[in-house]
Structure 1
Amino acid sequence: MTKIAQAFFVVVFLLFVSCKETIHPVKISKVEVEAPFKMPAIEIPDFSYCKQFLITDFGAIKGNKKRNSKAIDDAINEANKIGGGIVIIPEGEWITKSIHLKSNVNLHLNKGAVLLFSEAPEDYLPAVHSTWEGMECYNYSPLIYAYQCKNIAITGEGKLKAKMDIWKTWFPRPKPHMNSLKRLYNLASYNKPIEERQMVNDTAHFRPQFIQFNRSQNILLEGVSIENSPFWTIHPYLSKDVVIRNLNVYAHGHNNDGVDPEMSENVLIENCIFDQGDDAIAIKSGRNQDAWRLNTPSKNIVMRNCTMKNGHQLVAIGSELSGGIENVFVDNCNVVDGAKMYHLVFIKTNERRGGYVKNIFVENIKAGKIANGVLGIETDVLYQWRDLVPTIERKLTPISDVHLKNVSATETEYLSKIFGQAELPIENVFLKNVSVDNILKEKHIHENVVNFMEN
């Protein structure tokens, strides 16, 4: 090759590299999922060829919360600015305030990296557009927050950890907290603007979610461990195309669900380990008038090949389900012997919720001793709300087409407890090869059920 030719190729290569910085580098890959219903391919981002941004290049120093927070934020901004990039958290412990993701950004934790989130509530201000138990409001920022983002990811072999020193003192629900709940309930019930629902004050103590993907699309959460959470751990909210895989989640505080898909669609949760103080997976779709206004069901949600070490239910549906829930498939999951669990499947609602539940499929589940039963469906679950606030508008929840197949447990009080309402019975519940070695009370406890079949 002549020197002129060599020079030409060098120039072309340099131009290619230069152009690569300005071209949108995030690719989209599609995940095909088999389910008993029509499940569209899930689109997730692929950052394989994206530029990396090491937070120490932006001034991060171990033990320095202020500098680490700024470095992570600056790296995210740079990755977003060029159309896509990977923000690298290197080995070691890095204390930080809240992290706000932007489109086309992958937050990646190297092996041995720990992102340690401050316990100081002021580190999660200003308040952001979020939710509390199915009602929209302005509250403390989730520890990791994505709002109206596209093509985002959290990946790696590192750990996300929440310091709980202060948050755990907020677990109780004293009178001032309950008064704030009443205030938010009334603001939401009468469709007051979200901007009026400012819930950060000295006594409300509405704890933030750990990770919230809010109104976002094309999301990948893969590989990391998560330890502790002030509130719900992973919360896809009004989001679409979400893959959550190969996680190890441990959170044993109050309301520490593992994953809460809410008014979200096309969600895959696979190959995860959950050790929860509340439900392993809790599928929701908003509360009462707020959800009726948003009118967005949760649908096309698949959970497979997961292990539960602890959790109130393997899968809970509700009680915030006012937008409707349909097309849920839980397959090939294992509840370890000795896990503290109430039900494998628990569907719960009340006279205020409306919405609907249909097309629920749970298959190939193995469990040890379960405190209550394999299946629970209850239509009068109000918890502390029963006497706290009145029913402003009564709407019942149609529940139908619930399928359990190849499910086993060693001991329960009952196999199924299903309480429908006389004016709206639960319809079409099918159990096939569902067995319990030792049933302590009645096998089936049913009221107002139409077309229950067991074989």
Structure 2
Amino acid sequence: MKNLINNLVILTVILLVGCKRNSEDLSNRVLTFNTIDVKAPFVMPGIKIPDFRKTKQYNITDFGAIPEDKNKNYNAIHEAIDLANKNEGGTVIIPKGEWLTKKIQLKSNVNLHLEKGATLLFSEDPQDYLPVVHTTWEGMECYNYSPLIYAYNCENIAITGDGEIKAKLDVWEKWYARPEGHMQNLKILYNLAANNSPVIKRQMVNGTAHFRPQFIQFNRSKHILIEGITITNSPFWTIHPYLSQDVVIRNVNVYAHGHNNDGVDPEMSQNVLIENCVFDQGDDAIAVKSGRNQDAWRLHTPSKNIVMRNCVVKNGHQLLAIGSELSGGIENVFVDNCEVVEDANMYHLVFIKTNERRGGYVKNIFVSNIKSGAMKNGVLGIETDVLYQWRDLVPTIERKLTPIKNVFLENIRAGHVKYVSRILGQEELPVENIHLKNVVVDLAEEEHSHHEHVIGFIEITKE
């Protein structure tokens, strides 16, 4: 009997220790969070982002993934995402190799992690991005092809690692042109949005619209991290946080030289940090937007508290573009300590653009400590009548001007430019309070600056 009791005690201890160890293992597999405090010339809230280092890992090969089999890879990735989501936190591992896939739809509490040497190669077939999802086209909400990586109403999501995500462009690059069918569908969407038609009725996959999807879109989501990855090619805008909060994009390399290939387009998003990235793209490095016309007035959400720092731009149109889709308002943008390489082929360092249809507002824009090569145009451009193809395509349905004020540029050195600043305000609503301090160029071809309808322009230059 004594031996039996001793054995039961030993067994109980073993079971208790085993339970404790299991409990400890589980406690180590929890999703945690970091808060990043960012210094800026305005009050910047701490940015809360997920930390997946202790979460359980789900390797897609355990779910049947096979290189070059896009259907099996698509199914494996989504099975892993589903399981990580159900377990309230997990990391989906894309191992070394090239993995052809269709669209990826992220879910809350999931990190898509690409190991070194891993490439997620996204199919060129538009059918692989159906069914349609609630998304946007140039500031107007609609139902369109899914972005290649898409998150809707999610929280605590990430794309991390040393690997690459890459888009095959076989079809998308044929859609870069804007033939008659595409233009007619632009008119249809414009009028639907202008008349506040329900978004569900704005079905834009119809055989002729050819509205290219964004590469990555975080839609109505929060607590987002993109870190370490390389992004190659894009059908449309590359990284698009839309109506999202607490976004960190860091140590990311973008190479995308297609049409409308902006690097990052924060739109109606708040508390965004972009740092230590390399941008080599066909359009703007960062283009801050806040929706177009009636849609943005309805959603009533400004883009604000956006910081870009310690980045290098190798090609594109602007280091910082604001607009022209800015109808929800844009405020508190800070770009600091960035470099534009000598042969980047840029138009401006900073370009703010709007028109009589936008409304919204722009205020509190700070750009400092920038080193740049030559610009096709100038250091600062502000224009209030930028309509591109829309000028003759559709009429102005409701006229709303955009107040622009409080723009500060400091400690900027650029090479050969046409002008330092060109500001074209409107007589009935002048641009206000523009300060340039220690903005120096090697050579200005034309007159130093050209300004119309500006109140409170101050320039202080010192070598």
Distance 1:8 1:98 in 2: 50
Partner of 2:288: 283
The one-letter amino acid of 1:247's match is V
SS at match of 2:62: helix
Q: Segments of 4+ in structure 1 off by > 4 A?
A: 2-7, 18-24
Deviates more, 1:127-136 or 1:17-26: 17-26
Are 2:146 and 1:141 aligned? Answer: yes
SS at match of 1:342: strand
CA distance 1:13–1:345, shift in 2 (3 Å): farther
Partner of 1:341: 346
Partner of 2:443: 438
Partners of 2:29 and 2:54 within 8 A in 1: no
Are 2:362 and 1:353 aligned? Answer: no
SS at match of 1:145: strand
CA apart distance, 1:17: 2.4
Partner of 1:164: 169
Distance 1:171 1:97 in 2: 21
CA apart distance, 1:90: 0.2
TM-score, normalising length: structure 1: 0.98
Distance 1:33 1:58 in 2: 40
Distance 1:138 1:248 in 2: 29
1:308-387 to structure 2, matched below 5 A, reads: 308-387=313-392
Distance 1:403 1:388 in 2: 35
SS at match of 1:202: coil
1:233 counterpart (235, 238, 244):
238
Partner of 1:184: 189
Partner of 1:204: 209
Partner of 1:116: 121
- Aligned CA-pair RMSD: 1.4
Q: Which runs of 5+ in 2 are unaligned?
A: 1-5
1:153 counterpart (149, 158, 181):
158
Q: Which runs of 5+ in 1 are unaligned?
A: none
CA distance 1:5–1:34, shift in 2 (3 Å): farther
What is the number of equivalent residue pairs in this alignment?
454
CA apart distance, 1:20: 5.7
1:293-312 to structure 2, matched below 5 A, reads: 293-312=298-317
Distance 1:16 1:155 in 2: 29
Partner of 1:44: 49
Q: Identical aligned pairs, as a percentage?
A: 69
Are 2:36 and 1:31 aligned? Answer: yes
CA distance 1:57–1:374, shift in 2 (3 Å): same
Partners of 1:24 and 1:82 within 8 A in 2: no
SS at match of 1:371: strand
Deviates more, 1:18-27 or 1:49-58: 18-27
2:278 counterpart (273, 282, 302):
273
The one-letter amino acid of 1:340's match is N
Distance 2:456 2:128 in 1: 53
Partners of 1:24 and 1:83 within 8 A in 2: no
SS at match of 2:346: coil
Q: Tell me the alpha carbon deviations over residues 397-416 of structure 1, each in whole angstroms, 9 at most, x when there is no partner.
A: 00000000001101100000
Q: Tell me the alpha carbon deviations over residues 345-372 of structure 1, each in whole angstroms, 9 at most, x when there is no partner.
A: 0000000000000000000000011110
CA apart distance, 1:5: 6.4
Are 2:218 and 1:213 aligned? Answer: yes
CA apart distance, 1:12: 3.5
Are 2:394 and 1:389 aligned? Answer: yes
2:404 counterpart (399, 403, 412):
399
Partners of 2:246 and 2:270 within 8 A in 1: yes
Distance 2:10 2:154 in 1: 45
Partners of 2:29 and 2:55 within 8 A in 1: no
TM-score, normalising length: structure 2: 0.96
Q: Tell me the alpha carbon deviations over residues 131-165 of structure 1, each in whole angstroms, 9 at most, x when there is no partner.
A: 00000000000000000000000000000000000
Partners of 2:115 and 2:163 within 8 A in 1: yes
CA distance 1:109–1:447, shift in 2 (3 Å): same
